[in-house]
Amino acid sequence: MPATLPSIPNGGISHRGHDFRHDDPRQRLIVALDVSTAAAAQKIVAAVGDSALTYKVGMQLYTAEGPQLIRDLVASGRRVFLDLKYHDIPNSVRAAVAEAAKLGVSMLTIHASGSGKMMRAAVDAAKARPELIVLAVTVLTSLDGNDLETIGVRGTVHDTVVRLATIALTNGCQGVVASAHEASALRAELGDGFAIVTPGIRTAGSSVGDQVRVVTPAEAIAAGASHIVVGRPITEAADPAAEAKAILEQIRS
């Protein structure tokens, strides 16, 4: 990010020792930078301003721009949710997470289906940066029960999410990525001491795109999500800052 990007002093936020019950709704909003260039990402961040503090960098943007984009976002005081969904042998995932910790990311994703051993390796590597939250992806929000059956996964989406989340928390992950449709069940069965990051968020009337299990921001928070990931409703809005503020009001309510 060029130096012209306004900074947020001290990153603007803290996880308060991994207490995910935030009073400031900005702590719970993650804006997805699903673009292909640093310039496009910079434009979004500048347009959103201080209405959001955490930005998701996924496979598209990271593949196009590499780690320097992460360093620049962190240097500007933003928090980075690195969403690369690591899924490999434990040693490879351990090494990747160690490098992500050096970049200063605040959150990253691994696949819960990679096994408890793989998740433990990721958590161990993340200890180099105590504030780094390792999130286990349960079932992608683009999948439904028919998709799971096709690839040989037995049981419903709900059962699969709860099973994978239980394994993830048992192996040290601080949270999971799951649809809000499963968030209430996760809270009821596993308690409040972990993060639930919910993608597939769409505001009323917006296109669902390639997502299947979608909800509104208010529905996600009410269901028990600690964080919501919002992309196109903010980044493609005529006024991204205003759209972000409207979502913050939904979270606050």
Phi and psi at residue 91, to the nearest 5°: -65, -40
Annotated catalytic residue within 56, 85, 102, 127 = 85
| Pairwise pLDDT comparison (220 vs 2), residue with the higher score | 220
Contact 118/89 with Cβ under 8 angstroms?
yes
CA distances from 218 to 44, 46, 89, 176, 198 (A): 23, 25, 38, 19, 12
Give the mean pLDDT of the chain: 89
Top pLDDT among 106 and 10 is at 106
What is the pLDDT at residue 253? 81
Looking at residues 88-107, what average pLDDT do you find? 98
Query: What mean pLDDT is predicted for residues 42-66?
Result: 96
pLDDT over 50 at 106, yes or no: yes
Place of tokens 């205003």: 242
What pLDDT shows up at residue 100?
98
Residue 107 near residue 132 (C-beta atoms within 8 A): yes
85 a catalytic residue: yes
Q: Which residues fall within 8 angstroms of residue 43, CB to CB, at 6 or more apart?
A: none
Residues 110, 95: Cα–Cα separation, whole Å: 13
Has residue 211 got a pLDDT over 50? no
**143-202: per-residue pLDDT in tens?**
889 999 999 998 899 999 999 999 999 999 999 999 888 999 999 999 999 999 999 887
Which pLDDT does position 208 carry in this prediction? 46
Domain spans of the chain, in order of start: 25-252
Distances (CA, A) of 170 to 97, 144, 163, 165: 19, 25, 11, 8
Answer yes or no: are the C-beta atoms of 115 and 88 closer than 8 Å: no
Q: What is the pLDDT of residue 137?
A: 97
CATH class of residue range 25-252: alpha beta
Yes or no: say if 182 and 161 are a contact pair by the CB < 8 Å rule: yes
